[in-house]
Amino acid sequence: MPLSNLDLVNQCDAFPYPESDPSAYLARINTYYQLRVSGHDYALGYMLPSVAEVFRGIPHWELDDDDRTLTLNAGTTAEERSKAVELTLLAMRETGHFKVLNQWRNELYAVYGKKKELLFNVERSASPLLGVVSYGIHLTAYTRSKETGEIKIWTPRRASTKQTYGGMLDNAVAGGIASGESPFESLVRECAEEASLPEELVRSQARAAGTVTYYYIRDERAGGETNLMQPECQYIYDLELPDDTIPRPGDGEVEAFYLWSIDEVKQAMENGEFKPNCSLVVLDFLVRHGFLTDESDGDFIEIVSRLHRRLEFPTL
């Protein structure tokens, strides 16, 4: 069965909505543990009970089974909290508690409070354990025919050896935003690393085009524990490339780049060949450029809203 566009959205934005399905929403919310920071009485993420349990009794962490909260209780500065988080996670990595920690990246992700202040940093591979919002950039690189105006999209296939989503299709450039890095600087860095795109071209021609936000629930393809909650915010960029600028894999993460027509891209999406969140970025591109409309898809209104889920956690 070919996947509809709404199927593709449902794959990625998989957490129930309280307005339309309050009982499913509450069942989830009341099962999971809220991650908090002491002095900040609100959820920074939702954690599986089986994950929260592992933090019981560890210094600087307080597990409350009545309130169903896990509270980080370590100093009052981002630096103090980050240090405590790092020590805990390093120990858990040593003891082999969580499979996702085998993908340790030595990259720090930021977790923000309600005043947009940095609360703490967390090792990238551990952020889905805590269920906190992670941030990335996704770039769609495309060409436009001078004669016909036809748009084609540069579509990379991930190396089959990649730990996560190996062999699946991707956006031209995509990557996580490290703590302290701006989305645009992250974009420039990843464009060089992943697609060998000249910095000057990216700086002058890449155009910001909003965000795609959703609430992912990890499956086997992401590697490690499944059912982890992963709210994500992707900063979206478009880049129209001149005919003579060909993206080339830069770091071994990409097997090949294809220059595909809109129909070829749609076909691959229907076939489920895209990494789930990348198909959302393609859908957003198709919406903004008039290729996906109410005439072409009966779920149009729902799709456009779902590409821009309001995250219920503080964000940058």
Only segment of 52-60, 143-151, 204-212, 250-258 that touches a second copy (CB under 8 A): 204-212
Q: Which is nearer to a second copy, 92 or 178 (CB)?
A: 178
**Of 305, 302, 176, residue with least CA distance to 235:** 176
Query: In the complex, what is the shortest distance from the CB of residue 237 to a second copy, in angstroms, rounded to a whole number?
Result: 8
**Of 40, 15, 12, residue with least CA distance to 26:** 15
CA distance 36 to 18: 21
Position among 104, 165, 184, 260 found at the interface with a second copy (CB under 8 A): 184
Q: Under the criterion CB under 8 A, does residue 189 sit at the interface with a second copy?
A: no
Only segment of 192-200, 245-253, 257-265, 305-313 that touches a second copy (CB under 8 A): 305-313
Length of the chain: 316
Beta carbons of 282 and 153 less than 8 angstroms apart:
yes
Which amino acid makes up residue 254? V
Beta carbons of 180 and 195 less than 8 angstroms apart:
no
Query: In the complex, what is the shortest distance from the CB of residue 277 to a second copy, in angstroms, rounded to a whole number?
Result: 16
For residue 120, the tally of other CB atoms under 10 A from its CB is 28
Q: Under the criterion CB under 8 A, does residue 136 sit at the interface with a second copy?
A: no
Q: Under the criterion CB under 8 A, does residue 19 sit at the interface with a second copy?
A: yes
Q: Which residues neighbour 6 within 8 Å (Cβ) at sequence distance 6 or greater? A: 297, 299, 302, 303, 306
Q: Under the criterion CB under 8 A, does residue 209 sit at the interface with a second copy?
A: yes
The site for a second copy (CB under 8 A) is made up of 17-20, 22, 116, 182-184, 207-211, 213, 233, 235, 287-290, 293-295, 298, 300-302, 304-312, 315-316
